[in-house]
Amino acid sequence: MGRNAKTGLGALIVLLLVLPWLINPYVLQVFVLTISYAMLGLAFAFTLKVGLPRFDVAAWWGVGAYTTAMLMLKAGMSFWLTLPIGGLIAVILGWFIFIVVIPRGMMVFLLSGMVLTMAAQQIFASVPFFGGWGGTDVIPLPTLGPITFADKKAVYFLGLVLLGVNLLVYRALFTSKIGRAWGAIGSSLGLASSVGVNVVRYRLANVLIGNFFIAIAGSYLVASTLVAIPTMFTFVNSINVMMYVIVGGIAHGLAGPIIGALVVTFIPEYLRMAKEYEPIVTSAAIILIIIFVPSGILGILEKWVKPWFLDRFRRSGAKAGTSGALMSSDEQ
């Protein structure tokens, strides 16, 4: 990582730390949602690495959310315990499903993902134990020592920690030999298996690790909304997740989905004035981005801002070589 990139990262972290005091509580709540969405976007990008587009994201998000809600309500368990348990349940359930699905290839995976999303919502809604379409009862506020999560700032910081851990784990995996094998599967299945990569096993591992973090994102969502309602986990959510990755920039590793989640979540927020036209305007904006900027927002930045940046540096006599790391250091 170059010096500029380090400075940039440092500035970003400071900004994220003081952010709650700079914005109003409503916007902070949107940020909290965005963090959960960003983790979903990360999972989509993470599994796309092995050549599998997943549309089952909302299902496992719901599994995490309902696990936390039910365990806190029915078993009186602490929120902190439900967090990993939700992840593990998503991994175990996922194992039973994907061990059958993954050997049948990408198309079957994609379609079964859509079915899973819709089935999960139906199950949450129609099994009386989960509280029907009305959702669960309100869960007790999670606490950590003296901090209660009535304060949205606490929820926000918990989100930053979870997102950070999620990012670091994905990144460590991507840069390891496991990630190299994943990338090989994603770019050429035939070649990967010809060098001895067990495609099914590697894909299964990737998808289940994704499941774990998606469920964590679901538990986190409940820490903020305090209820789990079936209509929170819709097929539209699963589609949006793909949007985050495309809008953010599909070739930009793990930074893309985070930027994408921010933009796709905040565009509609600022279009609230257009009220009933909001979905139309949002969809149009996203279609325009896909048509005119297929490389996503980070793609534009790299193409336009970086040369401008480099030019500035050259004129001021600084060495140009280091600023190249600004965008690309994060890639696999």
Smallest CA-to-CA distance from 215 within 98, 65, 73 is with 65
Does the protein bind another protein through residue 294 (CB under 8 A)?
no
Q: Among 194, 275, 292, 319, which residue interacts with another protein (rule: CB under 8 A)?
A: 194
Residue 150 φ then ψ, to 5°: -70, -30
Which neighbouring-strand residues pair with 147?
Answer: 144
Q: Is 207 in the site for another protein (CB under 8 A)?
A: no
Distances (CA, A) of 234 to 34, 115, 125, 212, 254: 16, 11, 12, 19, 24
Which region among 29-37, 65-73, 188-196, 235-243 touches another protein (by CB under 8 A)? 188-196
As measured in angstroms, the least distance from the Cβ of 325 to another protein is 17
165 binds another protein (CB under 8 A): no
> Is residue 180 close enough to count as binding another protein by CB under 8 A?
yes
Least Cβ distance, residue 173 to another protein (angstroms): 6
Cβ contacts of 181 within 8 Å, gap of 6 or more: 192, 197, 202
- Beta carbon nearer to another protein, 98 or 233: 98
Residue found by looking up tokens 């079957």 in the block: 108
Query: Whose structure tokens read 């949006």?
Result: 240
**Helices within the chain (DSSP H only):** 3-22, 25-48, 57-74, 79-101, 106-126, 152-175, 177-187, 189-194, 199-225, 235-248, 255-270, 278-292, 296-300, 306-315, 325-328
24 interacts with another protein by CB under 8 A = no
Nearest residue to 224 (alpha-carbon basis) of 157, 309, 306: 157
What stretch of H or E contains 147?
Answer: strand 147-148
Q: List the one residue from 145, 196, 291, 316 that touches another protein (CB under 8 A).
A: 196
> Count residues contacting another protein (CB under 8 A)?
22
Shortest distance (Å) from residue 91 CB to another protein: 16
User: 122 or 176, CB closer to another protein?
Assistant: 176
Q: Does residue 45 bind another protein (CB under 8 A)?
A: no
Q: How far apart are the first and last CA of the chain?
A: 13
Provide, rounded to whole angstroms, the least separation between the CB of residue 169 and another protein: 8
Under rule CB under 8 A, residue 184 binds another protein = yes
Please identify, using beta-carbon distances, which residue of 146 and 196 lies nearer to another protein: 196
Q: For another protein, which residue of 63, 173, 258, 327 counts as binding (CB under 8 A)?
A: 173
Instruction: Find the binder of another protein among 199, 208, 222, 229 (CB under 8 A).
Output: 199
- Site residues, another protein (CB under 8 A): 172-173, 175-178, 180-181, 183-184, 187-188, 190-199
